[in-house]
Amino acid sequence: MKRVLIAKEWAGMRPFAWLLVVLVLLDLLELAAGDLYTWHRSFTLFAGTRWTESAFLSLLLSFAMGSGLLARELEDGTLAFLDGLPVRRSEVFLSKLMVAGACLFVYAAATPILGWALQAWLRHSIDEPVAVASLAWLGLRYALLLASGLALGLLFGFLRYLAWALLAIGAAALMLLRGAWPRAGTALDPTQLIADGWSTQGWAGDTVWSVAALTAACLAAAWLLFAGAGGAGMLRLARLAQKRAFVIVMCAGGLIALLVAMVLARDKDKDEPDGGASVAVAAMAADQRSRKVVTAHYTFNVPAGRKVDERELKEADKAFTAAAQALSVEIGEAPLIDVDLAGSIKHTAGLARHNRIRVNLEPGWQNTLVHETVHVIASWLAGGERGRGLDRMSLFNEGLAHWSEPAYRDDAEMRRLESLAVAAMFRRHLLSQDEVLDNRTLERKLDWRLQYPLGAGLIEVFVKRYGKEAPRRVLAALAQPDFPPELEGYELYRSAFQRAGFDINLVLNDHALELKRGSEAFAAAIDRMPRPRGLLVREAGRVGIAVQLDTPLAKGQRLVVQFRPRADSRIDDVVAVDRLEPYGQRPVAWLPLDQVAGNQVCYQVGVRNRYYDMVEPWRCLPLRAAADGP
């Protein structure tokens, strides 16, 4: 009888199994249509975003399968027939679970095995091969991910089509939880099981055990509703799902939850305002009302209680002229640029987005206004809201704005320290062409602020080789309607420069030669720089990084340690600690344990100077590697 039940379930599962086969074939087709460059960038050493996307898709697939697995018997009217056979409800439940689990787990193994095979095939172009142990652990975690989706689908499926509304509500609640308590939210998020990709090792961690417990609880509850007391619980839920008032409430709740999830996802990518106070521009009485000051090129929004000299604001039109001259353009009538003086965002002095500027009123803020105005004008030249590629060319975009700043030409000490920072990274072999041109690599691996001096140096050699109008011609190329929309990194730069009539390889070669000259000029100073190292330590309720130095700090230097929740967290999530406490023979920067996500601590140590922290690469260590006590 069990064999008959399994055959019956397999017959009903075939359409879904074929869907899984098609998905695997689409992956193979993508590989067949690609080239070596695409394979290496997209498949080998998968990026975190790719693993997260795969986890999310797999979770939805397993949930969709589970949501109809038990409820289908009730909808098709076959449950009474099964009850008339000499089989128990628990046997029916187990046979369904076996067939669905077998299909999903075979699918779960396909992606890691495919990626691992490709890694082995392209081993000549990969720095770190994937070990068989990594494949095994990743496969086990993938199986748990699909088991959790299947279990949730089995439980929520009793409410039939309202199951998806419940899933949306749960997703929104999880996103709220991750914002309020990162560690708890990460522990309950099944997609985090494989978010680390090939670096995943072991079966330990809050996420594994929390998701395993959630999966077991959902399976037990689904079994009780289906098999316990003759399936009375399942019938009650089915009747409840037919009530109009309940359907309206659940659908409304699911819609609201989806809207909340979309807003949270959008806000996560946005820069949040900084809560710090700004410095007054002029010593005059503060106006208690918000107001606008309109000049030839700007509309300044002055918040209530802010001290601002309106004559100084009117003189700020010089910033627009300086920005236009840097881009070698003559702009006649142009829309007024809205400037918010209520402050910029965390980690920055200014921000330009959607033709609107936000600026902190700190000394020298006019220099920042020039920088952000260059961004606005460059966006116009690159096609405005329809522009293609400028946002993915951070080195070019930020370098152009920084190169245009008056301070870049006038502040010799700032130029020296910037050159020293870039030369140190080059001499220590921490920079590569692909990583520099990639949009977020500097932020992810080193220091996001390096894009300013690196980019300004790139623009400087670019203009030296091709003339002052060269940047404007690249922006015009980006505005062309037929410019390819999905390019990244080197391919994006090559296409933009080629369409403008330039050779990016010559520019990159000039840039590399300048970096080499700088590293040779600063060689002695770089070799004398202290290079801090971090040791992960742990006490009750907190973890920390104890810093060890190979040489003493110079006068005016101090240690800084930065933390972020995950290896791919955005810059807004970075927390800098520059007040270190004694810990045995070393200073230590502490982080509350409830701010640790994924059972790992991601940190960066550095030495703070006037303009740039001389930082070491980011590292992530598992909590189990922490030393206890001094």
* CATH number of the CATH domain containing 578: 2.60.40.10
- The number of folded domains in the chain is 4
pTM score, two decimals?
A: 0.55
Same domain for 317 and 253: no
Of 495, 467, 462, 491, give the one whose Cα is nearest residue 480.
495
CA angle 610, 611, 617 (to 5 degrees): 110
Question: So what's the pLDDT on residue 228?
Answer: 61
Same domain for 303 and 371: yes
Same domain for 249 and 309: no
Of 281, 371, 385, 392, give the one whose Cα is nearest residue 335.
385
DSSP-derived secondary structure for 265-327: HHHHHSPPBP-SPPPPSSSSPPPSS-EEEE-SSEEEEEPTT----HHHHHTTHHHHHHHHHHT
DSSP letter assigned to residue 547:
E
- Give me 462's structure tokens: 């670019």
Strand 627-628: give its sheet, edge to edge.
581-583, 586-592, 542-548, 533-539, 627-628
| Alpha carbons 625 and 538: distance in angstroms, whole number | 9
Question: So what's the pLDDT on residue 196?
Answer: 62
| Alpha carbons 424 and 422: distance in angstroms, whole number | 5
Q: Examine the fold and report which residue of 269, 297, 321 is the final residue of a domain before the chain moves on.
A: 269
Q: Are 538 and 544 in contact (CB under 8 A)?
A: yes
| Alpha carbons 207 and 183: distance in angstroms, whole number | 9
Question: So what's the pLDDT on residue 474?
Answer: 92
| Alpha carbons 352 and 210: distance in angstroms, whole number | 42
Q: Beta strands 619-622 and 291-294: pairing type?
A: unpaired
Question: So what's the pLDDT on residue 461?
Answer: 92
- Give me 285's structure tokens: 């009485």
DSSP letter assigned to residue 130:
P
Same domain for 476 and 429: yes
Q: What are phi and psi of 294, to 5 degrees?
A: -100, 130
Helix axes 412-427, 504-521, angle to 10 degrees: 100
Same domain for 181 and 306: no
Same domain for 237 and 103: yes
Residue 407 is part of which domain span? 385-528
Same domain for 404 and 349: no
**Any residues with CB less than 8 A from the CB of 159 and at least 6 apart, and which?**
166, 237, 238, 240, 241, 250
DSSP-derived secondary structure for 330-348: ---S-PPEEEETT--BTT-
Q: Are 397 and 456 in contact (CB under 8 A)?
A: no
Q: Are 153 and 67 in contact (CB under 8 A)?
A: yes
Helix axes 132-156, 163-180, angle to 10 degrees: 120
| Alpha carbons 292 and 288: distance in angstroms, whole number | 13
Mean pLDDT by 10 residues, the chain (630 residues): 62 73 76 56 48 74 76 58 60 74 75 69 50 72 83 76 73 71 74 67 71 85 68 61 66 68 55 36 47 81 69 80 86 80 68 76 79 88 73 88 87 85 86 77 81 90 92 90 84 90 90 89 87 86 86 82 84 80 83 81 84 80 74
Question: So what's the pLDDT on residue 143?
Answer: 82
Same domain for 126 and 49: yes
| Alpha carbons 559 and 529: distance in angstroms, whole number | 12
- Is the CA virtual torsion 56, 58, 64, 67 positive or negative? negative
CATH code, domain carrying 283:
3.30.2010
Name beta bridge partners: 273.
345
Same domain for 596 and 503: no
| Alpha carbons 153 and 62: distance in angstroms, whole number | 7
Number of neighbours of residue 277 by Cβ within 10 angstroms: 9
Q: Examine the fold and report which residue of 356, 381, 406 is the final residue of a domain before the chain moves on.
A: 381
Q: Examine the fold and report which residue of 269, 292, 316 is the final residue of a domain before the chain moves on.
A: 269
Same domain for 441 and 506: yes
Same domain for 289 and 261: no
Same domain for 59 and 149: yes
| Alpha carbons 477 and 383: distance in angstroms, whole number | 9
| Alpha carbons 457 and 262: distance in angstroms, whole number | 39
| Alpha carbons 445 and 604: distance in angstroms, whole number | 9
Of 217, 215, 180, 178, give the one whose Cα is nearest residue 195.
178
